[in-house]
Amino acid sequence: MIVVNEVTKEFGTRTLFDSVSVKFSPGNRYGLTGPNGAGKSTFMKILTGEIEPTNRGTIDRPRKVGVLQQDRFAYDNERIIDTVIMGNATLWNAFKERDALCEMAEPSEVQMNRLCDLETVIADENGYTAEFDAGAILRGIGIPDEQHENLMSTLPTDYKFRVLLAQALFGDPLALLLDEPTNHLDLESIHWLEDFLQIYEGTLVVISHDRHFLNSVCTHIADIDYDTIITYPGGYDDMVEQKMQARQTVETGNKDKAKKVAQLREFVARFAAGQRSSQVQSRKKEMMRLAPQELKRSNIQRPFIRFEQEKPIGREILQVKGLTKKFDDNVIFKDARFDIERGDKVAIIGRNGAGKTTLLRCLIGEIEPDAGDIKWGDSGTWSYYPQDSHSQIKPGCTALEWLMQYMVEEGNQVVRGLLGRMLFSGDESLKATEALSGGEAARLLMARMMMQKNPILIFDEPTNHLDLEAVSALAEGLSTFPGTVFVVSHDRDLISNVATRILSFTQEEGLIDFHGTYDEYLQNHKFKEFATEGRRR
């Protein structure tokens, strides 16, 4: 169990948490939610002990806690398998001390006794199966056996993150504290992680912007709102429903109270100077009792995302024939062929590094394929959202000024209205572009795409910096868009709600063109069997 008692955290004049007390019980899996900037990562760091609360509040933790580290370069000089085992500090320290004692030519009796004690510690911590257990976790998140002895420095950055996740999961921790564990995981690895966490018997606290992941894994949601943390049973969708119902109940109650107060006020005004002084005083006391309950502003804010097209275009959007691309000896895709028609919503999925972004960049002409033809239909103009959204927004101006350069004819009032729909209300629209958070930059770039009204929308990992409500709004906006969509994403809710067509990079069959939804793809293709087999291993 993790027990937080009277914890306050302030940054300057801003209060993130005010005297928060909350318990995270064993056997429960808590999703820690709130919009960007609400303080989720700060609270997680308080739980891990990385930072201290502002006041003298206390946090009680179990003896063994698995924490997802965020510094992906801290273990570059360590073997991959060793990095995972380091997740159990007691075991790792016992291994190191034992190895040092064993290297001594003539250990003393005290040192021999210590060696016996260390063997007991290693046995208690399941040290004799440590490499086997660590290897199983590494395979589950997509790192094959032949790499386990390599140094961490040999891995790409996203795979280093996977090893750090394996480190947090290793050693049967009594509690797991995971900040965005699905970042840098492909769909198969996310499936594996969900299965792992669903049978985990300790206390889990997890931050994630993956709605499907939270609904699948969590038994409770700990939501940061009103300067505190409120715990709700169920997954994320259950929390939103309960939160809205509670708010509606208060709003309805306040309306009823307001009607009664108006009637009482009328009575007091009529008879205040008359003979009914006792009745007037009684009515005044009743008015005080019926004071409306204060209703603070909720943190649930959803941008209004709606994409339109200036004018429809022809039926044939894109023809791809014999498309091939390789880097040195690494063939990314070979002889790819597919036709895209007006209204198709195409999700491009596959393992990390499979070639999803490369395919998009070939299609829009950013890089040249080695062979093949790409033919866009007449008037096939597009808006493009790259993985690095910040790269598209120049510094040295405000959000309003940046968007105005693309909407000269529409005028200031129209631009401010669009920014307001994307949660840049009031002075937020005057925020410097270089100071924008990842989520703000993403919303500003989408505002430009909404304004451009092109018939083709192309997205490369658009959910990376969006909070849960923004992801839902994006899914709604894309699903109702009458034009054509290409989207690379690992967010299954977005893919499930939007895609009518799947382009899947697979190891066995190359690039698969599947006509249907993502759920139909899982049901009708052996990708599902492969993912299940990978989790079983």
pLDDT at residue number 250: 66
d(C-alpha 113, C-alpha 79), whole Å:
30
Q: Which of 435, 466, 495 delimits the end of a domain?
A: 435
Assess whether 253 and 278 both reside in one domain: yes
Structural contact between residues 17 and 32, judged by C-beta atoms closer than 8 angstroms? no
The CA distances from residue 9 to 17, 18, 42, in Å, are 5, 7, 9
CA triplet 79, 84, 88: central angle to 5 degrees? 125
Task: Choose the most confident range, by mean pLDDT, from 31-40, 132-141, 265-274, 463-472.
Answer: 132-141
For the stretch 79-92, pLDDT in tens is 999 999 999 999 99
For the stretch 100-116, pLDDT in tens is 999 888 889 999 999 99
For the stretch 15-52, pLDDT in tens is 888 889 999 999 999 999 987 777 888 899 999 999 88
Assess whether 221 and 255 both reside in one domain: no
Is 340 a domain residue?
yes
pLDDT at residue number 467: 84
pLDDT at residue number 534: 41
Assess whether 140 and 216 both reside in one domain: yes
Assess whether 110 and 11 both reside in one domain: yes
Rama region for 313: left / alpha / beta (φ>0; ψ in -120 to 50; rest): beta
Is 527 a domain residue?
yes
Does residue 432 have a pLDDT over 60?
A: yes
H/E stretch holding 498 reads helix 492-498
H/E stretch holding 385 reads strand 382-385
Is 302 a domain residue?
no
pLDDT at residue number 451: 92
pLDDT at residue number 274: 66
Assess whether 142 and 266 both reside in one domain: no
Is 405 a domain residue?
yes
pLDDT at residue number 9: 87
User: Taking the complete model, does pTM exceed 0.85, yes or no?
Assistant: no
Assess whether 365 and 423 both reside in one domain: no
Start-end of H helices in 277-379: 277-289, 356-363
Q: Mean pLDDT, the chain, as a whole number?
A: 87
Is 304 a domain residue?
no
Assess whether 460 and 419 both reside in one domain: no
Does residue 535 have a pLDDT over 60?
A: no
Q: Which of 238, 270, 302 delimits the end of a domain?
A: 238
Confidence band of 3 (pLDDT split at 50, 70, 90):
very high
Assess whether 469 and 377 both reside in one domain: yes
Is 136 a domain residue?
yes
CATH of residue 385's domain is: 3.40.50.300
Is 102 a domain residue?
yes
Does residue 437 have a pLDDT over 80?
A: yes
pLDDT at residue number 158: 79
Number of domains the chain contains = 4
Q: What is the mean predicted confidence (pLDDT) over 354-368?
A: 92
Percent of the chain with pLDDT over 90: 53
Assess whether 211 and 158 both reside in one domain: yes
Does residue 419 have a pLDDT over 50?
A: yes
Assess whether 158 and 93 both reside in one domain: yes
Confidence band of 536 (pLDDT split at 50, 70, 90):
very low
Does residue 272 have a pLDDT over 90?
A: no
Q: What is the mean predicted confidence (pLDDT) over 512-516?
A: 93
pLDDT at residue number 533: 40
Does residue 407 have a pLDDT over 80?
A: no
Sign of the torsion formed by the C-alpha atoms of 373, 376, 381 and 384:
negative
Name the residue range of residue 86's domain.
Answer: 2-238
Assess whether 234 and 264 both reside in one domain: no
352: three-class secondary structure by DSSP: coil
Confidence band of 169 (pLDDT split at 50, 70, 90):
very high
Does residue 257 have a pLDDT over 50?
A: yes
**Sheet of strand 316-327: strand arrangement:** 330-341, 316-327, 371-376
* Residue found by looking up tokens 């509670």 in the block: 246
The CA distances from residue 274 to 58, 271, 282, 283, in Å, are 59, 5, 14, 14
The crossing angle, in degrees rounded to 10, of helices 438-452 and 412-421 is: 130
Does residue 537 have a pLDDT over 80?
A: no
pLDDT at residue number 530: 39
Is 300 a domain residue?
no
Assess whether 384 and 408 both reside in one domain: no
